[in-house]
Copies of this chain bind each other. A is one copy, B any other.
């Protein structure tokens, strides 16, 4: 018996390979119908015992949205400012304005400077925290569904954690209960610029067969796959 591939296997694999972080958006809103499909896709994700402990709080242009985006914008600017300094974005190769590091730095600055203009911001929340390392297994698959569906429909976004220092402010503003946790903040919009293949380490560094760091000879990459250097990108 052989597997029976989905009739649209290639578009699925292509979407997965080209869903990269998008941090620059046009000013256009996301139409209700598309936003609905994106959020529906998110909720199709698996979760522990199918308990569906994910919740999505969507910020657009309602009474709270501008305030929430302003709180987040401040936090994102502070987060980027700390990271830029800690990770030395202006030093080393970053001193060359044409380096990838410098380009990333400019993109990040633009992202946080314009955060309040983001058309849609989704707070991915978790109810029923158990305090296990694996808790996120019931929320982050849904976040990835959301990003893939957005990409399929022509939108882009990025999963961020810079809401953490202002989580209590958001909780108060948005009436989020104390036992609910904001697991990710996901801005969404129409990309300025392109999607395109993501850049990762060589698969041989990430996929092992039968034992830790034992190479998987069968694990190959499509021609033209682009790589990051080993180690954290921000320290490269």
Q: Give the B-binding residues of A (Cβ under 8 A).
A: 1-17, 19-21, 26, 28, 30, 32-37, 39-46, 48-52, 54-60, 62-65, 83, 87, 129, 132-137, 139-141, 143-145, 147-149, 151-155, 158-159, 161, 164, 174-177, 180-181, 183-184, 190, 198-201, 203, 206-214, 216, 218-222, 228, 232-234
Our pick among B8, B10, B46 for the contact of A159 (Cβ within 8 Å) is B46
Contacts of A15 in B (CB 8 A): 6, 8, 12
Least distance between A111 CB and chain B CB atoms (Å): 14
B184 touches A134 (CB 8 A): yes
Given A8-B14, A19-B46: 6 more A-B contacts, CB < 8 Å: A3-B190, A8-B8, A13-B37, A49-B83, A57-B210, A145-B148
Cα separation A209 to B211 with both chains bound (whole Å): 46
CB contact between A3 and one of B43, B135, B137, B154 (< 8 Å): that residue? B154
27 A-B residue pairs with CB within 8 Å: A3-B190, A5-B154, A8-B15, A11-B11, A16-B148, A19-B44, A39-B216, A40-B219, A43-B207, A46-B159, A49-B83, A50-B233, A52-B201, A52-B228, A56-B208, A57-B212, A64-B211, A134-B136, A136-B139, A137-B140, A137-B159, A137-B184, A141-B144, A144-B145, A148-B148, A174-B212, A177-B212
* Cα–Cα distance between A151 and B30 once the two chains are bound (Å): 28
> Taking the nearest CB of chain B, how far is it from the CB of A140, in angstroms?
4
Residue on B nearest A180 in the bound complex, by CB: B212
Residue in contact with A219 in the complex, picked from B3, B36, B147, CB distance below 8 Å: B36
**CB of A120 to closest CB in B, whole Å:** 10
Collect the chain B residues with CB atoms within 8 Å of residue A140's CB.
136-137, 139-141, 144
- B6 to A154, Cβ gap below 8 A? yes
Chain B residues, CB < 8 A from A153: 3, 5-6, 9, 13
